[in-house]
Amino acid sequence: MDKEERKIINQGQEDEMEIYGYNLSRWKLAIVSLGVICTGGFLLLLLYWMPEWRVKATCVRAAIKDCDVVLLRTTDEFKMWFCAKIRVLSLETHPISSPKSMSNKLSNGHAVCLTENPTGENRHGISKYSQAESQQIRYFTHHSVKYFWNDTIHNFDFLKGLDEGVSCTSIYEKHSAGLTKGMHAYRKLLYGVNEIAVKVPSVFKLLIKEVLNPFYIFQLFSVILWSTDEYYYYALAIVVMSIVSIVSSLYSIRKQYVMLHDMVATHSTVRVSVCRVNEEIEEIFSTDLVPGDVMVIPLNGTIMPCDAVLINGTCIVNESMLTGESVPVTKTNLPNPSVDVKGIGDELYNPETHKRHTLFCGTTVIQTRFYTGELVKAIVVRTGFSTSKGQLVRSILYPKPTDFKLYRDAYLFLLCLVAVAGIGFIYTIINSILNEVQVGVIIIESLDIITITVPPALPAAMTAGIVYAQRRLKKIGIFCISPQRINICGQLNLVCFDKTGTLTEDGLDLWGIQRVENARFLSPEENVCNEMLVKSQFVACLATCHSLTKIEGVLSGDPLDLKMFEAIGWILEEATEEETALHNRIMPTVVRPPKQLLPESTPAGNQEMELFELPAIYEIGIVRQFPFSSALQRMSVVARVLGDKKMDAYMKGAPEVIASLCKPETVPVDFQNVLEDFTKQGFRVIALAHRKLESKLTWHKVQNISRDAIENNMDFMGLIIMQNKLKQETPAVLEDLHKANIRTVMVTGDNMLTAVSVARDCGMILPQDKVIIAEALPPKDGKVAKINWHYADSLTQCSHPSAIASEATPVKLVHDSLEDLQMTRYHFAMNGKSFSVILEHFQDLVPKLMLHGTVFARMAPDQKTQLIEALQNVDYFVGMCGDGANDCGALKRAHGGISLSELEASVASPFTSKTPSISCVPNLIREGRAALITSFCVFKFMALYSIIQYFSVTLLYSILSNLGDFQFLFIDLAIILVVVFTMSLNPAWKELVAQRPPSGLISGALLFSVLSQIIICIGFQSLGFFWVKQQPWYEVWHPKSDACNATGNLLWNSSHLDNETELDEHNIQNYENTTVFFISSFQYLIVAIAFSKGKPFRQPCYKNYFFVFSVIFLYVFILFIMLYPVASVDQVLQIVCVPYQWRVTMLIIVLVNAFVSITVEESVDRWRKCCLPWALSCGKKIPKAKYMYLAQELLVDPEWPPKPQTTTEAKGLVKENGSCQIITIT
């Protein structure tokens, strides 16, 4: 087999990877070991940081089938490398491992899926053994997933459960009996333990991982070097800062692990009952479950330890962990195609398609319903990390890296500093050799120049702004578990919002009803709960047409149904188990009005009494329920009033759908107009219909009747108007974001029309904007996938098709700036199914739809994550604000995810808001912008500090001098650390502005600012250094030099000489040193002031009182010791006496330097604001962000946006690039 082979695993999936095989090479290992010893362990560190180098340095290429180690590389834009060791699972020791019993289970001991082959023979593995004696399976584990070698496809593949390639028929015929103990034990060997194991790493492990960060290694190197040079004080300061940084980092990482561990531990081990083949019930631990086990769901409910498909009975489940909606959902058994009349025998089971019949891991089964003598059973389809919850936890444990330009540029900038350090390193060595300096001194001084150029305090300085921002966020109730994300939040230009509980209050409120009598609408009524309506069909429909159930005596179910039922004030009574037993499959539920509503409770003198000749009890029994179907957009029930011979059919659902199923003569003529009026005001409208069924329809016939036979020929009864109230702060917050040029997108699990309506209400879609609904249909019956484009408003507005075409096509506006391009007047809306089809079949349309997609409805958790990625692919910086566990993946994937709940979502989310209000979003962005600008200021300042000190030292090296230890200490501790930690304290600006901070350090204005300051500082330092030599009093300094005599300052000189007990070995004390020290000390403070920017992202620096006080104090102190020397201070700092006239000259040099630096920095700012936009417009520069470039292209595209009533079809033949064509349907 070709040794250079490269294979792909997880092809076409999100975690697609290239895989290469390697075998360990002893001679390579020996060479690497030698290299590690020679480099003092540095090579080992390098190989630890680079897994690709580690494998290539110690192994040789091998065929994947026979390799010991695999090297994996992701195929996405990050191209990340991972390595994994091949392990062997031996079946020799297993009691059922004889070739005969296993011949139908494995292929060459290489796994992999519980599918069925075309002949229908169920092979619980793969094809047959090719060699009976080979009873070993090769596998490796990556990101908590096991990949087994599969001989059929000659590649590694992960073990699939019953969720792929198994038909609904075979679920009943082949899997419903359960597993034998032998088969269970064998599968357990392959699938392993059913648990989502989140191991909390020990503090020691985390410490090692954190300490081996390249920055900390460099700090360690610097500290050792300084210690050999007896520079202990600063070394100690750096050690203390590093320890504080490491401890805080360890605390937050470990806290995250513990939270995640606690979240998944709730259902990790419970006792469950399973059915075996001989119909015996065995009790096992949930960790022993395997796909194919038949699990008995207990009567009082449980937390599901796996994904399972229901084959017997009914369950009421709380799926808030998955959907974010804390609404109990009724799960029914999977339709058995062999029994059902529909004849869908070949349909494959899929957890997503059949989610109404699937119990998902982590969701809570509240209660079960069963029939006499039968247990509620479910077949386990997925276990462990393969389950829906397992995949969610994996996305939290192994998130994709977030690419941020600032950090990339920071590394690039450091490389530049390293290059500068390299030049200094070489210069120092050459200069020292020419001047015959000792070897030990040469080594220390040349390495010292590297630690000066690349400041070890840089990480701490960069972190300071983020730590302060984190503290300010905490004060306003926003908690952060990933501080590095604060900077990225400063760049956000698009925010996705969940709807329910985020933009709106939880649930809907009943606004009123509008009944129909004699095909005419009556005036709207607010109160449904009154005596006049108690016996009306309208109220009977509200009382019966729902999916409510009682759980522990409390009514629960869909909030919409709940609100309607509460509005009429009726009472619901469910059948007991004994009553259910009488009716086999029928579960009668009875509803009745409260006694006070019935006329018997009215006073005897009431004249209308005789109109109501009601029996003593007025009850309605719900005989059959057809649950709500999002595809049909309706639900219906068959009910019977106690004492009536005929049954009634009631139906409710989307008004257009209900009207189409009613007799035309019962639907009011102005139906469309009334409906449009309500929907335009943002109301959710539901229509009701009713009809009397024939008397020949008996109780038992109703149980087997098809839905279509009931749902037709109805009488239209009227409308229910519901209101989903926006939270009070929502419109104002969204307006602030729009003013700041930040796009807003709605991602919800709710209905499309409601979502569009809420988007209009909250200002996400302006009144004059058009909404284009993209309805994508997957390929079916040989036809290619297609998208139908509907214009949401124009469909009801215009009666003539020609009017639609002319009126509804959105206007393209020509904008002055690229930023405004996103404000064009059309928006795309689509549901989750359409989104998936578009991602799969219309890849070239995805970026265009991302540019104007505003409403994404009925989105599943993984689709939300895919949407975030699609937006990031067109270079948006995406924020996500949600409140449910269904938002977890999206919150983790977004550049800035903020959770409004402190439950599961907060584990995944970098930010959690204590107050469940979206007002935290602009606050987070403001703080992010302030932290980002602070990072830029600090980075620029630290760069200047490095270069100023580097140049000071280089100048002094030229005369074989250097800065003294206490001079270094004064600069590094008293000036740099104080300035860095106080200049980061500027709070964020009060409001969001339309301008955004730059995203990277490598920008024209920023580089010009840094370079101009470098040149100015170098110029004035050189001026002082060379000018002092030209002074008439100048001589090469020696202990008896008396330059101060000219000023009569004999006292200073004599006292100084008395203390001069030892010779100055390092030649620190000289006139050049003193001059360079004073000028450079002032320069650090000058650039600190020049770089401390305020508006428009931070408060002005004069409001940062700590910074102002620190700078003034340092200025005064340095000025004082320069103009009025104090002997003790001069002795400590190793400063020599210079004439007073030269001190004044130095002051003039410093003042001119300050004036030039601040003037240049201000002019750079002005140049950026005035000239840059002009230069861009002249040069017609192509924007860097893909979405801006795309917006420019679409402005001149005549085919975009799609015209109303057109269809876009995918080209069937060309699948690689997903190209498509537009066909207009006439």
Q: Which residues have a catalytic role annotated? A: 498
Cβ burial, residue 986 (10 Å; 0-12/13-18/19+): buried
If DSSP states are collapsed to H, E and C, what string results for 915-979? CCCCCHHHHHHHHHHHHHHHHHHHHHHHHHHHHHHHHHHHHHHCCCCCCCHHHHHHHHHHHHHHH
Strand partners, 1207: 788, 1223
Q: Compute how many other C-beta atoms are within 10 angstroms of the C-beta atom of residue 201.
A: 14
The SS3 call for residue 468 is helix
Nearest to 7 by CA among 92, 72, 51, 68: 72
Nearest to 948 by CA among 1056, 834, 814, 1090: 1090
Cβ burial, residue 706 (10 Å; 0-12/13-18/19+): exposed
Two structure tokens written together for 582? 């009488």
Q: At which residue do the structure tokens 């065929």 appear?
A: 63
Helix (H) or strand (E) holding 1005: helix 1004-1029
Q: Which residues contact 815 (CB under 8 A, 6 or more apart)?
A: 821, 823
State how far the alpha carbon of 30 is from the alpha carbons of 25, 46, 57, in Å.
Answer: 9, 17, 10
Distance, CA of 1099 to CA of 1101 (rounded, Å) = 6
Distance, CA of 720 to CA of 541 (rounded, Å) = 11
Q: At which residue do the structure tokens 């009026």 appear?
A: 677
828 φ/ψ angles, rounded to the nearest 5 degrees? -95, 145
Alpha carbons within 13 angstroms on the beta-carbon side of residue 393 total 26
Distance, CA of 509 to CA of 520 (rounded, Å) = 25
The length of the chain is 1226
Amino acid at 1156: V
Give me the sign of the Cα torsion angle 790, 794, 799, 800.
Answer: negative
Strand partners, 780: 783
Two structure tokens written together for 907? 């584990």
Cβ atoms of 551 and 698 within 8 Å: the answer is: no
Q: Compute how many other C-beta atoms are within 10 angstroms of the C-beta atom of residue 1075.
A: 27
Two structure tokens written together for 431? 């200069």
**Helices 861-873, 832-841: inter-axial angle, 10-degree rounding:** 50
Strand partners, 147: 140, 158
**Helices 458-475, 214-228: inter-axial angle, 10-degree rounding:** 130
Is-cis flag, bond preceding 1096, omega within 30?
yes
Distance, CA of 918 to CA of 901 (rounded, Å) = 12
The SS3 call for residue 25 is coil
Q: Compute how many other C-beta atoms are within 10 angstroms of the C-beta atom of residue 598.
A: 18
Nearest to 998 by CA among 1010, 985, 980, 986: 1010
Alpha carbons within 13 angstroms on the beta-carbon side of residue 382 total 26
Give me the sign of the Cα torsion angle 884, 890, 893, 896.
Answer: negative
Two structure tokens written together for 187? 């599968």
Nearest to 959 by CA among 1083, 1070, 1080: 1070
Cβ atoms of 490 and 930 within 8 Å: the answer is: yes
